Amino acid sequence: MGLKLFNTLSRSVQEFAPLDLESKRVGMYCCGPTVYDFAHIGNWRTFVFGDLVRRYLEFKGYAVQHVMNITDVEDKIIKRVRESRAPLSDFTGKFEAAFFEDLKSLNCRLPHQTPRATEHIGPIIELIQKLLDKGIAYRAADGSIYFSIEKYRSAGRQYGQLVKLNFDEMRVGERVRSDEYAKEAVADFALWKARVPEDGEVFWPSPWGEGRPGWHIECSAMSMEILGPSFDLHVGGEDLMFPHHEDEIAQSEGAALQPPGQRFVRHWLHGAHLMVEGKKMAKSLGNFFTLRDLLAKSFSGREIRYLLLTAHYRETFNFTMDGLQSARQSLARLDECLARLREVTGQTKAAEDASLVSNFSEKLDDDLNVSGAWGSIFEWVREMNRRLADRSLDSSAAASALAAWERIDSVLAVGASTEVVAPPEIQALLEARQAARKAKDFKKADEIRAELKVKGWVIEDTPKGPRLRPG
């Protein structure tokens, strides 16, 4: 069955059809992090969603070229650079490195290309020049270059492809310099911002004088440079629909580099936001979490990834600490079942159980219905547990079940393929407990078991010796 995805352009669920159907190649661009701070758990919802899209396309046999930009110059960064007094690349380098570490903690596949805006100033300037040559961009008195919405529309183009806009309220030629603005403030937006004293040392030479790019032009230039002027998929959080993505379309289609009849992007995918305990996440409300905050509370990357992958991407997701605790329990249930299947399987190899895989892909084909997929996975866990309990599962059936799980986990990436490895201090406690048991000091052994429990680990005594699992 074919994959269906909601396309923000058509506001409907559509069959996913890449430009190059035959080669099954897919070009996919995800708006990446603005590296001015550690990425928060809301950002991670969107990045993990992008990883799910990529992994599922790969599961379906597509050869995905996954590009994620690093926004390393824009308004918020310049403000922080000014405050920190550090050079731009020292400041952004720290958060960029942290971003890549976090990506790994959450088991996201590394994008094939992660272009930095500051390393694409050449293509950015070229694209702005094309818009100037077409008369769609113009130079303001201070040397900044703006995109003219009026000229773009009178060239027969549509501004407002992803969101509905009210042009009656708009005054022609009114301008907005900042990178972020609301729908109500729709106006000519900055492509190139002439240098001002507040920019400090952050500027580049250009044919129009010293300055720096606007945020929106960065993504148009980098995506088209790497994926070509027309590509398959563009992913981001719902807040990016306007103005960021609308402006990306305007700049890219305004330059008219696409072959006739082709759009800049065929499918736009937007992930809904994450809230925390029912509220918009904000530092002032004390409900703001970076990934690191949660890891420091001893939750693992896979528990967080699992939780982020439990809800449909188009539904606002309410993140709670209780939810994270239940994620831990659900994964423990899954791990338990997988560990027992591995024991029964031994060295046996078998072809994957087709029904688990087809149930899974039937759900994901339906606009990435992950909650439905988890429903069938836990149904399967119950069935496996029942068969393990009444010993009606032979080694080949167990191997076939495990092979199916591994196939679907190539998409979910939450299954510990081997047992979860406890940190050294926890392993040391387990060894001390074994030594106490050997010395028949059962009181001490029980105390250590209780200490491990407090630290979040449960000992299971199996025929192959004691095993630790989070719990």
Element (DSSP H or E) covering residue 400:
helix 395-412
User: Which position among 3, 26, 31, 381 is part of the footprint of ligand AMP (CB under 6 A)?
Assistant: 31
127/308 with CB nearer ligand AMP: 308
136/272 with CB nearer ligand AMP: 272
State the binding partner of 219 from ligand AMP, Zn ion, none, CB within 5 to 8 A by kind.
Zn ion
State the binding partner of 33 from ligand AMP, Zn ion, none, CB within 5 to 8 A by kind.
ligand AMP
134/314 with CB nearer ligand AMP: 314
Smallest separation, CB 394 to Zn ion (Å): 52
Distance CA 188, CA 232 (A): 27
Q: Please tell me whether residue 458 adopts helix, strand or coil conformation.
A: strand
Centre a 10 Å sphere on the Cβ of residue 270 and count the other Cβ atoms it contains: 22
- Per residue in 435-462, is it b (16+ CB within 10 Å) or e — as a string? ebbeeeeeeebeebbeebeeeebebeee
State the binding partner of 43 from ligand AMP, Zn ion, none, CB within 5 to 8 A by kind.
ligand AMP
Site track 387-416 with ligand AMP (rule: CB under 6 A), x = hit? ------------------------------
Long-range (24+ apart) CB contacts under 8 A made by 390-394 are 393/341, 393/344, 394/344
Where are the strands (E) in 142-221, listed by range?
Answer: 145-147, 175-176, 188-194, 211-213
Q: 68: which strand partners?
A: 30
User: Which position among 45, 266, 302, 449 is part of the footprint of ligand AMP (CB under 6 A)?
Assistant: 45
Instruction: Show contacts with ligand AMP in window 357-376 (CB under 6 A).
Output: none
Q: Please tell me whether residue 312 adopts helix, strand or coil conformation.
A: coil
Region for residue 182 given its phi and psi (left: phi exceeds 0; alpha: psi -120 to 50; beta: otherwise): beta
Smallest separation, CB 157 to Zn ion (Å): 20
Site track 234-253 with ligand AMP (rule: CB under 6 A), x = hit? --xx-xx-------------
Q: Please tell me whether residue 188 adopts helix, strand or coil conformation.
A: strand
45/55 with CB nearer ligand AMP: 45
State the binding partner of 34 from Zn ion, ligand AMP, none, CB within 5 to 8 A by kind.
ligand AMP
State the binding partner of 361 from ligand AMP, Zn ion, none, CB within 5 to 8 A by kind.
none
Instruction: Show contacts with ligand AMP in window 254-293 (CB under 6 A).
Output: 273-274, 281
State the binding partner of 301 from ligand AMP, Zn ion, none, CB within 5 to 8 A by kind.
none
Nearest CA among 462, 7, 1 for reference residue 234 = 7
Q: Which positions lie near Zn ion, rule CB under 5 A?
A: 31, 219
Distance CA 264, CA 160 (A): 14
State the binding partner of 426 from Zn ion, ligand AMP, none, CB within 5 to 8 A by kind.
none
For residue 58, count CB atoms less than 10 angstroms from its CB and return exposed for 0-12, middle for 13-18, buried for 19 or more: middle
Centre a 10 Å sphere on the Cβ of residue 1 and count the other Cβ atoms it contains: 10
Smallest separation, CB 37 to ligand AMP (Å): 8
Smallest separation, CB 334 to ligand AMP (Å): 25
Smallest separation, CB 7 to ligand AMP (Å): 17
Element (DSSP H or E) covering residue 457:
strand 457-462
42/214 with CB nearer ligand AMP: 42
User: Which position among 7, 8, 46, 400 is part of the footprint of ligand AMP (CB under 6 A)?
Assistant: 46
State the binding partner of 46 from ligand AMP, Zn ion, none, CB within 5 to 8 A by kind.
ligand AMP
Candidates 29-37, 247-255, 340-348, 408-416; binding stretch for ligand AMP (CB under 6 A): 29-37
Q: Which amino acid is located at 214 in the chain?
A: G
What DSSP string describes 65-111? EEEE-BB-SSHHHHHHHHHH---HHHHHHHHHHHHHHHHHHTTPPPP
Smallest separation, CB 400 to ligand AMP (Å): 38
Where are the strands (E) in 135-196, listed by range?
Answer: 137-139, 145-147, 175-176, 188-194
311/381 with CB nearer ligand AMP: 311
State the binding partner of 274 from Zn ion, ligand AMP, none, CB within 5 to 8 A by kind.
ligand AMP
Contact 248, 235 (CB under 8 A): no
Smallest separation, CB 417 to Zn ion (Å): 34
Contact 290, 36 (CB under 8 A): no
Residues that bind ligand AMP (CB under 6 A): 31, 33-34, 42-43, 45-46, 236-237, 239-240, 273-274, 281
